[in-house]
Amino acid sequence: MPNKAKSVTIFDVAHLPGVSKSTVSLVLTQSNKVADKSKQKVLQAIDELGYVYNRDAAAMRSGRSNLVAVVIDDSTNPLMAELAAHLELQLNSAHFQTVIVSSNNSVERQTHTINNLKEYNVAAFIVCPVANTCAQWLDKLASHYNVITLMHEVPYSAAPCVLPNYSKVGHLVTSALLTNTLNTLIFIGDNSQTSKAQAAGFISACEQKKLLSTM
């Protein structure tokens, strides 16, 4: 049985409400240049005719898509899951389609996943890089795609990065824990930049409380 949606063209959609093909195109690409009244007519015609917009074909013609890949490092981490949910909400409100995947803290899986996503003509990558991510690999990715990293900085990489204020977090958490009933804490970290920043916050909070800092 033939697919009716595939047999309906953009010209059919334009003809039904009596608008131009370019108006329909603007509605399909979610442009704000179309009056609400005309937009509603086009959307009603699309619904009535069962027209389906082929975004893959449009992406091939334009060389770009509206797909953004969000690659988090650990899907079992509640913070990462919440971050991904907020990113999806914001991207969808900006008319981007979001795909969320996890690298499970594996450099190999991160590389393999991103290589697979390239085949879908993504518009951008938002990556929470795992430990030991190669700066050269990340910079090569950023030279061909829109890339931004979150939460963890890859040393010596030129890719844009958005980081939490780990020093402030360390200070606030330590201050909250140093109460009248709990006045002894030990900070245990590693040699990462994140851990060093958290340690700085820990030390500043101990000094503020006039306590000896222990690393």
What is the value of pTM for the model shown? 0.64
**Do the domain assignments include residue 213?**
no
CATH number at residue 140: 3.40.50.2300
The C-alpha angle 154, 80, 138, rounded to 5 degrees, equals 25
Average pLDDT value over all residues in the chain: 84
Closest CA to 105 of 85, 84, 131, 77: 131
**Do the domain assignments include residue 214?**
no
Same domain, yes or no, for 68 and 46?
A: no
How confident is the model at residue 71, as a pLDDT?
A: 96
CA dihedral 63, 64, 70, 73 (to 10 degrees): 20
In which domain, by residue range, is 76 found? 62-162
Same domain, yes or no, for 32 and 87?
A: no
- With DSSP H G I counted as helix, E B as strand and the rest as coil, what are the percentages for the chain, rounded to 5? 50, 10, 40
Q: How far apart are CA 130 and CA 109, in angstroms?
A: 10
How confident is the model at residue 1, as a pLDDT?
A: 40
Q: How far apart are CA 179 and CA 79, in angstroms?
A: 26
How confident is the model at residue 55, as a pLDDT?
A: 59
Q: Give the pLDDT band (50/70/90) at residue 196.
A: confident
Q: Please determine, for residue 140, whether its predicted confidence score (pLDDT) is greater than 90.
A: yes
How confident is the model at residue 6, as a pLDDT?
A: 53
Same domain, yes or no, for 70 and 148?
A: yes
Same domain, yes or no, for 145 and 82?
A: yes
